[in-house]
Amino acid sequence: MLISRIQRPLLLILFASLVLASCQTIDLYEKNVSIPGHAWKSSYRPEFRFIIKDTTAPYEVYIVLRHNEKYAYNNIWLNLTTRFPGDTVQHKVQYELPLANSEGWIGTGAAMDDLYEHRILITPRNEPVTFRKPGEYVFTIEQIMREDPLENVLNVGLRIEKKQQ
């Protein structure tokens, strides 16, 4: 059965509407910001904003960090501050994130530039989390190392992805 010339545009509109409607939930959010001068001052606290609509889905939360081979430590200490939709109160959690072990850097490296990227899961007990309220979430990342500014850090970021079932 052939589709008439009138039905074809209607089918395209219907298909486009279904595609757009299916994009209403966040499957993946990732944003990375450059550290000015590759020296992360404790006063520089990048902010990440995203909207959650699906409060039933489990999500995984990652910190993304890029540094060069001159980074002086095998870890990094961070504060992650979260503000939930409709709240003025901020919730702060401290993390020590391992970046190296006795065999070298844990992250993926780029051989030519001696750059290393780490994507570190930070959800409690490595279990997915559910966001209880729909709306805009605001996460802020702050370095709390003794060295200030923290040299040789190139980028920091946040990645939120829907847990694959």
Tell me if 154 is assigned to some domain.
yes
Burial of residue 24 (CB within 10 Å: 0-12, 13-18, 19+) is exposed
Tell me if 120 is assigned to some domain.
yes
Residue 47 has pLDDT above 50, yes or no: yes
Beta-carbon contacts of residue 72 (< 8 Å; ≥ 6 apart)? 147, 151, 152
Closest CA to 90 of 102, 100, 103, 80: 80
- What number is the average pLDDT over the span 20-49? 84
Using 50, 70 and 90 to split pLDDT, how confident is the model at 7? low
Residue 2 has pLDDT above 90, yes or no: no
Using 50, 70 and 90 to split pLDDT, how confident is the model at 125? confident
Which residue segment(s) compose the domain that 110 sits in? 25-162
Tell me if 135 is assigned to some domain.
yes
Tell me if 6 is assigned to some domain.
no
Tell me if 40 is assigned to some domain.
yes
The 10s digit of each residue's pLDDT in 52-104 is 999 999 999 999 999 999 999 999 999 999 999 999 899 999 999 999 999 98
Partners of residue 126 on adjacent β-strands:
none
Tell me if 3 is assigned to some domain.
no
Tell me if 14 is assigned to some domain.
no
Residue 111's CATH number: 2.60.120
Tell me if 70 is assigned to some domain.
yes
Separation CA 161–CA 121 (nearest Å): 11
Separation CA 101–CA 88 (nearest Å): 39
Domain tally, the chain: 1
Q: What pLDDT score was predicted for residue 133?
A: 94
* Dihedral angle of Cα 101, 102, 108, 112, to the nearest 10 degrees: 140
Phi and psi at 79, nearest 5°, equal: -105, 130
